[in-house]
Structure 1
Amino acid sequence: MSKQFWGLVAVIITVLVGVAVFNNSKKPTVVSGVASNHIIGKADSKVKFVEYGDYQCPYCQQYFATVNQVKDKYKDRVSFQYRNFPLTSIHKNAFAAARAAEAADKQGKFWEMHDILYANNDPTGASGWVASDKPFDFFSGYAKQLGLDAAKFKTDYASKSVNNIINADMAAGTKLNVEGTPSFFINGNKQQIQNTVDAFSKALDEALKNAK
C-alpha cells in the first residue's frame, strides 16, 4: 500500500487516541471516604430530612434555633440528618469547624459540638472562632466543655479520615446541586423553607401524609 494510505491511517489513530484522552480527562474526581451519617430522630422513618450546612454561615446560624425546635417536634416521626458543606471560598474557618464536629463525633459528641459551634457563631463575623486565626483554640475549649479526651480530639481533628468525611459530604451535596447553605431536602427533594417552625411543619406534615 502507498505511503499516503499509511499516513492517513496514522492521522486517524492519533485523532482517536486524542479523543479518548480528552474524554478520560473529563471524568469526575473520585472522592475518598464515606459521607457522614449524623442522624437524630426516627432513623427508620419514611420521611428523611437532610440539611447541608456551614457552621460559619450566618444564615445557617439564623436557622439553627428553628431547626432545633422542629427536631424536637418531629423527632418521633422524622429522620433528621446533618451533612457538612463548608463554603470555604468565603468562610475561612468553616472547614475547620466541620473538622471539630467530626472529631467530636469520634467520641460520640457530634450533635453537642454541632450545637456549640452554631451557638458561638458570631453572624457578623467579627469575633469568636469565626474571626480567629487560631480557631482550634476555641474548638479545644468546647471539647473540654464536653468532657472529650483532649489528645484524641486533637489527633482526630487533624486526621485524614475526618477530612475525607467532610469532602465526601461536599461531593454528595454537589451532586444534588447544593450551592449555598443552609440547603434542605425532604426525601431527596430540595426545599425552599422560610425560617419559621410553621413553614417547616407544613413541609414535614405534607411529607408524612404522602408517606402513609
Structure 2
Amino acid sequence: MNKITKLLVLSSIASATLFANDNLVVDFEKKRLSQNPNVKASNIKVFYKKELEVKGWYGYILDFDAVIQDKNMKIKDTLFSDGKVVATDLFDIKTSKSLKSTVVPNITDKYYQKSKLIAGNEKAKDKIVIFSDPLCPFCMQYVPEVIDFVSKNSDNIALYYYAFPLTHIHPASTTLSKLIDIAKIKLGQDAVLKAYKVDWQKHFEVSTTDDKTILNAFNKELQTNIKIEDLNKKDVVNSLEKEIALGDDLLVAGTPTIYINGEIDPTKELYKSLIKK
C-alpha cells in the first residue's frame, strides 16, 4: 500500500469515526429529551460542530423541533463530547467559565447583504455585523459609536445592521424595528443612526404594544409619514422575521452582539483595532 493510499484510508477511518460520534451525540439527546414528559422533540440533528481547544473534545449545537406546553418551537441545544462521553456543559477550571460561549457559529457571506449596510464600503476587507435592539439602553449608546467609527474610516470598513428586538424585555422594540426598516426607503442608511439618537422614552414606555403611539412618535422625530397599515405589510413583517431568524441561527441571545470579520467579539471593543494608529 503506497503512502497516498494509506492517507486516504486513514482519512476515511477518521471521518467515519467522527460521523459515528455525531450519531452518538444525537442519540444521547433523543434519550435525554424523551425522559422529559413536558417536551416532545423530533427532527434532532447536528446544526453546528466545533473542535475545542481541549484535546479530543467537540462542542455540538443540536437543532430540533419541540412541542412544549402545546406550543411548536424550534430549539437549539449545546452538548459536548470526546467520542466516549457526552456532557451538557464544560467549564474552564481556571476561570470557572462555561465553554458554551465558545461554541458559536461564525458569520457567513449571506450576512453581508447590501440592504443591511448602514455605514462604510461594502467592498472593504474588514466587515462588522451588529445585532441590536433599538430600545436596549446599551445599544442606544453603542451603535451610534460604532457607526461614527466606521463613518470616519468608511473606505476600509463595512458595517451591517440587523434588528434583534428583545420583545420579552421591550415589547415596543418590534414595532420600532419595523419603522426603522421602512424609514430606510426615505432616509437611507441614516435612518438607523437617527433612530438610535432619539430618547424614545419621552414618548412611550418600552413595554407598550400600542403601535399608533410608537408610530406617531417615530413620524414626529424622524420627519417621516409612515402609515399604520405599513407596519403590517407582508414584506415588512417578513423582513424582520428573517433578521431575527438569522440572529437565532447564530445563537444571538442578547444585544448588542457584534461580529468582526465573521467572528463574535464578546468584548465589543475589537472594532477599534481595525484601523491601526
TM-score by length of 1: 0.68
The amino acid that maps onto 1:165 is S
Mapped pair 1:159 → 2:233: yes
Mapped pair 1:143 → 2:143: no
C-alpha deviations, 1:42-62, integer Å up to 9, x for none?
111122111100001011012
Distance in 2 (CA, whole Å) between partners of 1:112 and 1:137 is 23
Distance in 1 (CA, whole Å) between partners of 2:226 and 2:275 is 42
Mapped pair 1:119 → 2:197: yes
Which secondary structure state, in structure 2, belongs to the residue aligned with residue 48 of structure 1?
Answer: strand
The alpha-carbon deviation at position 102 of structure 1 amounts to 1.3
* Residues 1:111 and 1:134: Cα distance change in structure 2 (over 3 Å): farther
Mapped pair 1:69 → 2:148: yes
Distance in 1 (CA, whole Å) between partners of 2:226 and 2:122 is 30
The amino acid that maps onto 1:137 is T
- Structure-to-structure mapping, 1:1-212, within 5 angstroms: 22-23=42-43, 26=64, 37-39=115-117, 40-105=119-184, 107-121=185-199, 127-131=202-206, 132=208, 134-143=210-219, 146-151=222-227, 154-194=228-268, 200-202=271-273, 204-205=274-275
Identity %: 23
Which secondary structure state, in structure 2, belongs to the residue aligned with residue 45 of structure 1?
Answer: coil
Whether the aligned pair in 1 keeps the contact of 2:164 and 2:255 (CA below 8 Å) is yes
* Residues 1:170 and 1:138: Cα distance change in structure 2 (over 3 Å): closer
Distance in 2 (CA, whole Å) between partners of 1:192 and 1:23 is 31
The alpha-carbon deviation at position 138 of structure 1 amounts to 4.2
| Alignment correspondent of 1:15 | none
Distance in 2 (CA, whole Å) between partners of 1:184 and 1:57 is 14
Which segments of 5 or more consecutive residues in structure 2 lack a partner in the other structure?
Answer: 1-40, 45-62, 66-72, 75-109
The amino acid that maps onto 2:271 is F
Distance in 1 (CA, whole Å) between partners of 2:249 and 2:226 is 35
Q: How many pairs align?
A: 172
* Residues 1:49 and 1:22: Cα distance change in structure 2 (over 3 Å): closer
Whether the aligned pair in 2 keeps the contact of 1:193 and 1:200 (CA below 8 Å) is no
Distance in 1 (CA, whole Å) between partners of 2:138 and 2:241 is 22
Root-mean-square deviation (CA), in Å? 3.0
The alpha-carbon deviation at position 194 of structure 1 amounts to 4.8
Distance in 1 (CA, whole Å) between partners of 2:251 and 2:212 is 30
The alpha-carbon deviation at position 111 of structure 1 amounts to 3.3
Highest RCO, 1 vs 2 (Cα 8 Å, sep ≥ 6)? 1
Which secondary structure state, in structure 2, belongs to the residue aligned with residue 76 of structure 1?
Answer: coil
TM-score by length of 2: 0.53
Whether the aligned pair in 2 keeps the contact of 1:129 and 1:135 (CA below 8 Å) is no
The alpha-carbon deviation at position 135 of structure 1 amounts to 4.9
| Alignment correspondent of 1:6 | none
Whether the aligned pair in 1 keeps the contact of 2:139 and 2:256 (CA below 8 Å) is yes
C-alpha deviations, 1:114-147, integer Å up to 9, x for none?
223322235xxx5423445535434345335655
Dislocated runs of 4+, deviation >6 Å: none
